[in-house]
Every structure is written in C-alpha cells, then in structure tokens.
Amino acid sequence: MGGFFLDMLRMTLSDKGTLLRRKWCVIAPVGAGLVCGVVLWVVGPKVYESSSLIMAAEAATPLPFFGSSVSRRMSAIRDQIVDINNLVQLVDHLNLARELKTEKEYERLVLGLRKRITVRLRGPNLFRISYRGADPGEARAVVSVLDNMFIARHGGAFVVYKRPQLPRGAVAPNLFVLMVTGVFLGACAGIGLVLFLEYRDHRDL
C-alpha cells in the first residue's frame, strides 16, 4: 500500500494535467492556511522585547570579570543579573506582584521573569540584556531596573552604552512565519486530497 501511494505521488506530481484538473483542491487549502496564519497573528497574544547594551567603563582593557572563556563570561554575567535576590528587588521595585495572593504565584512570577531575561555577549567588553513580555512598558522598565542594579553592584565599572527603548511593535507572533507555515500545511493537505481523489478514481476503474 505504501509503495502504491508513493507511485501515485510521483505520477501526480509529474502529471501536469492531473494538477491542473485538481488545482482547486490545492489552491483552496493553501488559501485557507494563509488566512489562518493571518488570523492567528491578529488574535494571538503579542510579545514585546526591550533591550540595552552594557559596556565596561575601560573599553580598551577587558576587566578580570570578562575571562577568556566566552561561556564563562556569559555564565558569570547572567548569574548576577538573574540572581533570585535581584529579581525579588525587581518585582518589589516595579510592584509586579500587586495582584498576587499566594507565595506560589509569587514564585511563578519570579521564575517566569528569569526565563524571559536573556543575556548575550556582543564584544569583549559589551553585552546585551533583553526581556520579553506582554506589556511594552513593562519590558522597558524591567531592563532599565536590571541595568541600574548591575551597574550599582559594580561601583561604576560599567556604563549603559544603549538604554532600553519602548518597543514599537511585537516580536511575536511572527506574521511571516505563520503565513509560510499556513501555506505549507495547506499545500500538504491539498496534495493529500489530490492523492486521495486519484486513488479513489483508480480504485473504481
């Protein structure tokens, strides 16, 4: 049976007449997939990202804090920024727990913040802090507070090279990805429908 369907697939794809005769079986699912992608983008929850760049004050000479190993640098920086005590101060400073009622909810909030904070190296003396969230104002505020706490902790050894900005648009969901995915799935469904119809016609002969 599997070999039969493979042969049918080769014949269908190589036979332009079959594809033209069944073209609406492919066009309709592709169109539906495209529309679904756009609808998901419109109604889906939006995610906003804000970021900053932090630079060592002595840019020409990497500080001992920036070791020779990239992974070690990133681990040391991230551990300081997403330290639980740091995040608790962040939550209190921005009053992010104002609607929470239990310790479990507070714990989930802190761990959620930790997962949405990203730290990436951008040079021997430069790294990027970014945060993704559902509110653009909150995203910028979170990064700004993280910047201030990190710089205060190191007594002026670092400076903010680029301050966080209010996001102009959402970074997710991605309209292009959703449209391409919808078209791909629609095309697969359309080709599957064509194969089924061809199989049914050949079986009845």
Of the ranges 29-33, 71-75, 90-94, 184-188, which one carries the lowest mean pLDDT score? 71-75
- Provide the pLDDT for residue 2: 47
- Assess whether 155 and 203 both reside in one domain: no
User: Is pLDDT above 70 for 203?
Assistant: no
DSSP letters, 147-190, are HHHHHHHTTTSEEEEE-----SS--BS-HHHHHHHHHHHHHHHH
- CATH number of the domain residue 155 falls in: 3.30.70.1130
Record the pTM.
Answer: 0.74
Residue 16: band (very low, low, confident or very high) from pLDDT cuts 50, 70, 90: low
Instruction: Give mean pLDDT, residues 159-183.
Output: 91
Closest CA to 181 of 22, 38, 47: 38
Beta carbons within 10 angstroms of residue 141's beta carbon: 20
Using one digit for the tens of pLDDT, what is the confidence trace for 96-118?
999 888 999 999 999 999 999 99
Using one digit for the tens of pLDDT, what is the confidence trace for 78-88?
888 999 999 99
Residue 1: band (very low, low, confident or very high) from pLDDT cuts 50, 70, 90: very low
- The proportion of the chain whose per-residue pLDDT surpasses 90, expressed as a percent, equals 45
d(CA 186, CA 190): 6
- Assess whether 109 and 132 both reside in one domain: yes
Residue 12: inside a domain: no
- Assess whether 119 and 183 both reside in one domain: no
- Assess whether 180 and 143 both reside in one domain: no
Residue 138: inside a domain: yes
- Assess whether 147 and 191 both reside in one domain: no
Please give the residue that has the higher pLDDT: either 27 or 142: 142
Residue 3: inside a domain: no
Residue with tokens 């551990």: 79
Residue 154: CB partners within 8 Å, gap ≥ 6?
65
Residue 83: inside a domain: yes
- Assess whether 181 and 132 both reside in one domain: no
Residue 77: inside a domain: yes
- Provide the pLDDT for residue 153: 86
The top-scoring range by mean pLDDT among 12-16, 46-50, 189-193 is: 46-50
Range(s) of the domain holding residue 52 = 48-162
- Assess whether 198 and 155 both reside in one domain: no
- Assess whether 58 and 131 both reside in one domain: yes
Three-class DSSP category at 76: helix
- Provide the pLDDT for residue 31: 92
Number of domains in the chain: 2
Residue 34: inside a domain: no
- Assess whether 136 and 67 both reside in one domain: yes
- Assess whether 148 and 65 both reside in one domain: yes
Average pLDDT, the chain: 83
Residue 70: inside a domain: yes
